[in-house]
């Protein structure tokens, strides 16, 4: 399997993210022990690891939805913890996030969900917002669902609406939390293709949290393997796939036998 051919480096506007010595405990249990990771501009990085290893927790730290017990997250060399609320929100303007459950606002229609950020932050007219919402839905391959409520959508459609909402504000960094979890293989492949297409077209930096190696191989330039609260291995998808480390190999092959023991 080869790395995706969309280019790394110069096209992205801004959005370098550095994680330094991040530690986080939840309910007294250390989840992240010492995470160090750098995500370069324009790069698509996958954070992989077993369920419950702290991938989503790590992702939420990148945007200030969770705060570290120790360590820091730097966005373009500026620590999130040092920002006041106004600056934090200004930084969040540069992000778009697809949540694991899509997190659509269930009291709003699809159009209202996708257009919410635009209505609150842009100076576009109502007609321009409607146009942009339609374009975003078109981009994720979901035209004609503007007036539907989230409860009327399938899991895959919800994810795509979530994706449309994430790109509506033209983000410079896209965060994906388990974008294909719970979807059938065909829908997963469709979502993967949509992500590749969007990242390529919008020239964004992207962080994909997943345990689906097919998504990793299709979408990402680099992989960080999170294990026991640290980045245990890092490399291109080819390097990770070919790793001889027993821990990494067990995860890649999905074997029940090996050094990784079931969480009790």
Partner 1 sequence: MRIRRETLPIRILEAVGCGSIRLATDVGAVVVMVWRMMAALPRLLRHPSLLLEQADHIGVGSIPLVLLASLFTGAVSAAQAGYQIQDYAPLSLVGAAVGKAVILELAPVLTALVVAARVSTSIAAELGTMRVTEQVDALEVMAIDPIWFLAAPRFFAGLIMTPVLVLLATVIAIFGGYLVSYATLGLSTATYYHGVQQFFLVWDVVINQTKAFLFGGILTLAGVFFGYRAQGGAEGVGRATIEAIVTACVMILMFDYIVATVMM
Give the C-alpha separation, 40 to 9, whole Å: 8
Q: How far is the CB of 11 from partner 1 (least distance, A)?
A: 23
Listed ranges 84-92, 137-145, 198-206, 251-259: which one lies at the site for partner 1 (CB under 8 A):
84-92
Binding of residue 103 to partner 1 (CB under 8 A):
yes
For the chain, the maximum distance between any two Cα atoms, rounded to a whole number of angstroms, is 58
Binding of residue 93 to partner 1 (CB under 8 A):
yes
* 3 state SS of 169: coil
Q: How far is the CB of 97 from partner 1 (least distance, A)?
A: 5
- Its sign, for the CA torsion 219, 224, 227, 232, is positive
> Which residue has tokens 């969900």?
113
**70-75 and 78-79 as β-strands: parallel, antiparallel, unpaired?**
antiparallel
- As beta bridge partners, residue 210 has 48
Q: What is the footprint of partner 1 within residues 60-79 (CB under 8 A)?
A: 60, 63-65
Q: Minimal CA–CA distance to 174: which of 235, 102, 92?
A: 92
Binding of residue 89 to partner 1 (CB under 8 A):
yes
Tokens found for residue 17: 């993210």
Nearer to partner 1, 112 or 234 (CB): 112
Give the C-alpha separation, 163 to 202, whole Å: 13
Q: How far is CA 98 from the centre of its chain?
A: 6
Give the C-alpha separation, 110 to 123, whole Å: 21
Binding of residue 83 to partner 1 (CB under 8 A):
no
CA distance to 51, 197, 204, 207, 228, per residue, from 23 (Å)? 18, 34, 27, 19, 12
Nearer to partner 1, 89 or 238 (CB): 89
Q: What is the footprint of partner 1 within residues 146-175 (CB under 8 A)?
A: 165, 169
Nearer to partner 1, 175 or 196 (CB): 175
The 115-134 contact track toward partner 1, x by CB under 8 A, reads -xx--xx-------------
Binding of residue 92 to partner 1 (CB under 8 A):
yes
Nearer to partner 1, 170 or 239 (CB): 170
Nearer to partner 1, 202 or 231 (CB): 202
Give me the residues that bind partner 1 (CB under 8 A), please.
60, 63-65, 85, 89-90, 92-93, 95-97, 99-101, 103-106, 116-117, 120-121, 165, 169
């Amino acid at each position: 399997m080869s790395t995706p051919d969309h280019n790394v480096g110069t096209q992205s506007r801004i959005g370098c993210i550095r994680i330094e010595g991040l530690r986080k405990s939840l309910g007294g249990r250390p989840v992240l022990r010492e995470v160090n990771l750098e995500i370069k501009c324009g790069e698509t990085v996958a954070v992989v690891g077993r369920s419950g290893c702290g991938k989503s927790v790590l992702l939420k730290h990148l945007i200030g939805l969770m705060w570290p017990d120790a360590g820091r997250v730097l966005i373009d060399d500026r620590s999130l913890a040092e920002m006041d609320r106004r600056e934090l929100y200004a930084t969040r303007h540069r992000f778009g996030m697809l949540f694991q459950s899509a997190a659509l606002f269930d009291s709003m229609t699809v159009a209202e969900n996708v257009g919410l950020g635009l209505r609150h932050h842009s100076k576009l007219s109502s007609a321009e917002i409607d146009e942009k919402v339609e374009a975003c839905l078109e981009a994720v391959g979901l035209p004609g669902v503007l007036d539907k409520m989230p409860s009327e959508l399938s899991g895959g459609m919800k994810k795509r609406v979530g994706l449309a909402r994430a790109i509506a504000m033209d983000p410079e960094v896209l965060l994906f939390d388990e974008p294909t979890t719970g979807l059938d293989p065909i829908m997963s492949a469709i979502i993967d293709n949509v992500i590749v297409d969007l990242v390529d077209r919008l020239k964004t930096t992207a962080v994909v949290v997943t345990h689906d190696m097919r998504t990793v191989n299709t979408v990402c330039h680099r992989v960080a393997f999170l294990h026991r609260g640290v980045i245990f291995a890092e490399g291109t998808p080819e390097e990770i796939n070919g790793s001889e480390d027993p821990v990494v190999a067990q995860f890649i092959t999905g074997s029940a036998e090996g050094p990784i023991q079931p969480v009790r």
